[in-house]
Structure 1
Amino acid sequence: MTTYSITYPPKPKADRADLPPGPPELPIVGQSFRYIRNPVGLMQEAATYGDLATMSVKPALAYLASHPDLIRQLFVDNHRSVGRGRMTLTLQYLMGMGLVTADGPLHLRQRRLMQPQFHHRRIESYGEIMTDFTLRHQQRWQDGDRIDLAAEMSELTLHVVVKTLFDLDLPDTVRRIGAAFELSNDYIKSRDNQPPAARRLFHRLPLPFTRRFKRGLAYLDATVYDLIEQRRETGLDGNDLLSLLLNVRDDEAENPEDAVMTDQQVRDEVITLFAAGHETTAVALTWTWYLLATHPDVQAGFHAELDDVIGDRAPTLDDLPNLALTDQILTESMRLYPPIWSTGRMTFEPIELDGWHIPAGAAVVAPQFIVHRDARWFEDPLEFRPDRWTPEFRENLPRFAYYPFGGGPRLCIGEGFAWMEAKLLLAVLGQRWRMRHDAGHKIELQPLVSLRPKGGMPMHLERRK
């Protein structure tokens, strides 16, 4: 069995005079405390210093790239010289070495093996599951109810992803899986804000938060490994993603043992798919409903399109190409509130960006939240304008002025799945319900792994006649 390993370059040291300009920093700690308190605000300020700026988030040397050409160079032109590196060490506590965290030959191999499982013809088989679960979920809603839409979308997408990944529909099991992932999300963000030495120490110590995380992780591991054992014993003939991954064969493997994924690799990949697919889709739907609720004219057009294209029947995949406004609404929502609000790469080798030398071991951050709101690419960038997304506008937009799913060889493998799920869920719920945002609720951002609304998203439900 081939062992995959990668050595990270040492953390670079650089003279401030040799770095791009950036916000002022404190001795020793740099901008670390500002980043912990308000990472979005720090990045917004850094972007005012130029398309490539320095963010001294000690002990890391971090650059911020906010121009589409620089992001293309980072993600595509220099993809062999960069990776995720130390930027995902905390995520490895949960995901192990899945697609999001793996680098080098392991990432290339796993991507090659998994890509066919996300071909549009394969994922289309999940459309009926998405529609059915949404119809079931909304049955408990009542006209005039005040709900936390963020929690509702999280629960709905949780059931969808557990069904499509594991073919499970047991309420107690689904609830426990969701609780373990929610705790993991909070734990990872908490540890990610700590200096590396403190992070490693606190992760080893039997602290209450760490013990709760490890108990939840143990439950997830036991559940996944039990399901893997069951699938292997029953012939691997299911259509859930877990069964498909267990059936994968690597035709390029030199050794027979390397032709299949190990149980550990399968575990890491399904945990990664769960974490990426559940959280991001729920967040995207939450922000989309918020924008619809606060723009009644757009919501009225959305409902009119659903009535015209679908009527009273359940939506199907064949309807999606005809829901042009729905597509524009979701696209514009993820421009203003990208679920993954910032991404980046660590340099394994020196590269050059915008005329600046970037040493090996540096972090280069490419925040979607900043680039998607740049007036150079989007007129009235803070306005919710779905009608901007005409075919002509899309054609003329720089490739990396809009990248909610990342780009290059690390483009999100589940992009097609996410678009399909979000559109179907919007259509099913939009047929029956009109959303009214609670006027007393103040919108605040909570930039964790994904861009959540702080304090949830209170909405009043109004049944459509």
Structure 2
Amino acid sequence: SRSDLLSLLLSARDDTGVGMTDEEVRDELATMLFAGSETTASTLAWAMYHIGQRPDVEEEILTEIGKAVGSRPVTFADVRSLPAITRVLDEVIRLHGVTTLMRRSVEPVVIGGYEIPAETEVLFSPYAMHRDPELYPDPDRFDPDRWLPEHMAVRPRHHVVPFGAGSRKCIGDKFAWLEATIFLATILPRWKLRSVPGSKPPAEAVASMAYPIRVPMVVHRRETG
């Protein structure tokens, strides 16, 4: 009768009425902890860092939250009314998302003039692709306005693939966006975060993304009316 993830997995049944084994439940939980928690935390750390350096972006977000949510708790239904936060998250993941992915060719194929035999492991870098200056002018600059509809319309369909694409696209993308949006919409009206002067988050590339080792910030409680 509970709605937490573990309870839902334990109570899940397929079309024949069979539930998961203990090992399957364990594997699902491990996947969520690795792919659904650390990655979201890293994204939020980078988001708070960049927002703290852009008071104009922060003010736009706060105005949006005030109009869409007010002083009540944020809900799933509010996410669609918070496009400024979505643009910030899109830009954060473009800058600090998955560094490399690997795929295996199932048949011979030619990509960009290169012949790739069947059963070849191919390593490619979404991190590099997302910093292509032809797609993103001044690519190292944090600019959420890149994600305004009129700017996105001129780019190819798969110009950004932080969650992969096609049949192998990560099924957790919408969950991650919901989780991160609700977090920012809850925290930002209550707290103002600013980088420690002279500091820059050291980062290292891990399997999931460019992971911030630490993000030194000063936290101030906001004055509420």
User: TM-score, with normalisation over the residues of structure 2?
Assistant: 0.88
2:192 maps to which residue? 434
User: Partners of 1:248 and 1:276 in 2: how far apart?
Assistant: 23
1:330 maps to which residue? 89
User: Partners of 2:35 and 2:110 in 1: how far apart?
Assistant: 31
Higher relative contact order (CA 8 A, sep 6+): 1
1:419, distance to aligned residue in structure 2 (A) = 0.6
Per-residue displacement from partner, 1:200-246 (whole Å, max 9, x unpaired)?
Answer: xxxxxxxxxxxxxxxxxxxxxxxxxxxxxxxxxxxxx4433334334
2:9 maps to which residue? 245
2:218 maps to which residue? 460
Structure 1 segment 298-313 matched on structure 2, within 5 A = 298-313=57-72
User: Partners of 2:193 and 2:114 in 1: how far apart?
Assistant: 48
1:288, distance to aligned residue in structure 2 (A) = 0.6
2:55 maps to which residue? 296
User: Partners of 1:332 and 1:350 in 2: how far apart?
Assistant: 35
User: 2:160 aligned with 1:402, yes or no?
Assistant: yes
CA contact under 8 A between 1:306 and 1:430: conserved in structure 2?
no
1:445 maps to which residue? 203
Per-residue displacement from partner, 1:162-212 (whole Å, max 9, x unpaired)?
Answer: xxxxxxxxxxxxxxxxxxxxxxxxxxxxxxxxxxxxxxxxxxxxxxxxxxx
User: Partners of 2:74 and 2:125 in 1: how far apart?
Assistant: 34
Aligned residues: 221
Per-residue displacement from partner, 1:129-188 (whole Å, max 9, x unpaired)?
Answer: xxxxxxxxxxxxxxxxxxxxxxxxxxxxxxxxxxxxxxxxxxxxxxxxxxxxxxxxxxxx
Q: Which segments of 5 or more consecutive residues in structure 2 lack a partner in the other structure?
A: none
User: 2:179 aligned with 1:411, yes or no?
Assistant: no
Structure 1 segment 154-165 matched on structure 2, within 5 A = none
Asked which structure has the greater CA Rg, the reply is 1
CA contact under 8 A between 2:200 and 2:215: conserved in structure 1?
no
The amino acid across from 2:172 in the alignment is: G
Question: For 1:341, what is the secondary structure of its paired residue?
Answer: coil
User: Partners of 1:388 and 1:394 in 2: how far apart?
Assistant: 7
1:399, distance to aligned residue in structure 2 (A) = 2.5
Question: For 1:396, what is the secondary structure of its paired residue?
Answer: coil
Question: For 1:400, what is the secondary structure of its paired residue?
Answer: coil
CA contact under 8 A between 2:201 and 2:216: conserved in structure 1?
no
User: Partners of 1:374 and 1:250 in 2: how far apart?
Assistant: 46
User: 2:65 aligned with 1:285, yes or no?
Assistant: no
User: Partners of 2:40 and 2:169 in 1: how far apart?
Assistant: 16
Question: For 1:434, what is the secondary structure of its paired residue?
Answer: strand
Question: For 1:397, what is the secondary structure of its paired residue?
Answer: coil
User: Partners of 1:240 and 1:442 in 2: how far apart?
Assistant: 37
Identity of aligned pairs, percent? 38
* Structure (1 or 2) with the greater helix fraction: 1
Question: For 1:376, what is the secondary structure of its paired residue?
Answer: coil
1:315 maps to which residue? 74
1:275, distance to aligned residue in structure 2 (A) = 0.9
Question: For 2:188, what is the secondary structure of its paired residue?
Answer: helix
Per-residue displacement from partner, 1:364-398 (whole Å, max 9, x unpaired)?
Answer: 12322111111111122222111221223333322
Per-residue displacement from partner, 1:75-98 (whole Å, max 9, x unpaired)?
Answer: xxxxxxxxxxxxxxxxxxxxxxxx
User: Partners of 1:380 and 1:347 in 2: how far apart?
Assistant: 33
2:143 maps to which residue? 385
User: 2:22 aligned with 1:263, yes or no?
Assistant: yes
Structure 1 segment 15-414 matched on structure 2, within 5 A = 237-246=1-10, 247-250=12-15, 260-338=19-97, 340-414=98-172
Question: For 1:352, what is the secondary structure of its paired residue?
Answer: strand
User: TM-score, with normalisation over the residues of structure 1?
Assistant: 0.45
